[in-house]
Structure 1
Amino acid sequence: MSNGTLTRVLHRIGRRGASLAFVGLLCLAIAASLAFPPAAPRMAPNYAALAAVAPLRVWALAWCATGALCLVQMFLRSDRIAFAAATALLLLYGLVYLISTFTGDNPRGWVGAAVWLAFGGWIALIATWPEAVTVESATGGAAVIVADAQGLIQSWNPQAAKLFGWSTEEAVGRPLTILMPPRLREQHAAGLAKVRATGVSGLAGRIIPLVGLRRDGSEFPIALTVNAWHSDDGISYTGVIRPMRGADVEPD
Structure 2
Amino acid sequence: MDDPGLGALAARIVEETGDAVLFADRDGVLRLWNRGAERMFGWSAAEALGQSMDMIIPERLRARHWDGWKRVMETGVTRYGTEVLAVPAVRKDGQTISIEFTIQLIRDAEGRILGPSAVIRDVTARFKREKELRARLKELEAKQR
32, 49, 62: which one aligns with 1:185: 62
Q: Which runs of 5+ in 2 are unaligned?
A: 3-9, 127-145
The alignment-based identity, stated in percent, is: 32
Describe the superposition over 1:152-209 as per-residue Cα deviations: whole angstroms up to 9, x where unpaired: 1001001101111111011001111110111111111111111121122232222111
- Does residue 225 (structure 1) correspond to residue 102 (structure 2)? The answer is yes
- Provide runs of 4+ in structure 1 moved above 2 Å: 132-137, 232-235
Contact 1:164 1:179 in 2 (8 A): yes
Q: Within 5 A, what are the aligned runs for 1:158-169?
A: 158-169=35-46
RMSD: 2.3
Q: Greater helix percent: which structure?
A: 1
Q: What code does the residue aligned with 2:68 have? A: G
Report what 2:21 is aligned to: 144
Higher relative contact order (CA 8 A, sep 6+): 2
Describe the superposition over 1:124-168 as per-residue Cα deviations: whole angstroms up to 9, x where unpaired: xxxxxxxx664379xx52111111111110010011011111110
Contact 2:22 2:37 in 1 (8 A): yes
Q: TM-score normalized by structure 1?
A: 0.42
Contact 2:15 2:35 in 1 (8 A): no
Q: What code does the residue aligned with 2:22 have? A: I
SS in 2 for 1:151: coil
Offset at residue 216 of structure 1 (A): 1.2
- Does residue 203 (structure 1) correspond to residue 85 (structure 2)? The answer is no
Offset at residue 225 of structure 1 (A): 1.4
CA distance change for structure 1 residues 245 and 165 in 2, over 3 Å: closer, same or farther?
closer
Q: What code does the residue aligned with 2:90 have? A: L
SS in 1 for 2:79: coil
Report what 2:119 is aligned to: 240
Q: Which runs of 5+ in 1 are unaligned?
A: 1-14, 17-131, 248-252
CA distance change for structure 1 residues 191 and 235 in 2, over 3 Å: closer, same or farther?
farther
Contact 1:206 1:226 in 2 (8 A): no
Larger radius of gyration: 1
Contact 1:199 1:235 in 2 (8 A): no
CA distance in 1, matches of 2:15, 2:36: 11
Contact 1:150 1:192 in 2 (8 A): no
Describe the superposition over 1:200-236 as per-residue Cα deviations: whole angstroms up to 9, x where unpaired: 2232222111101001111011111111121267331
Q: Greater strand percent: which structure?
A: 2
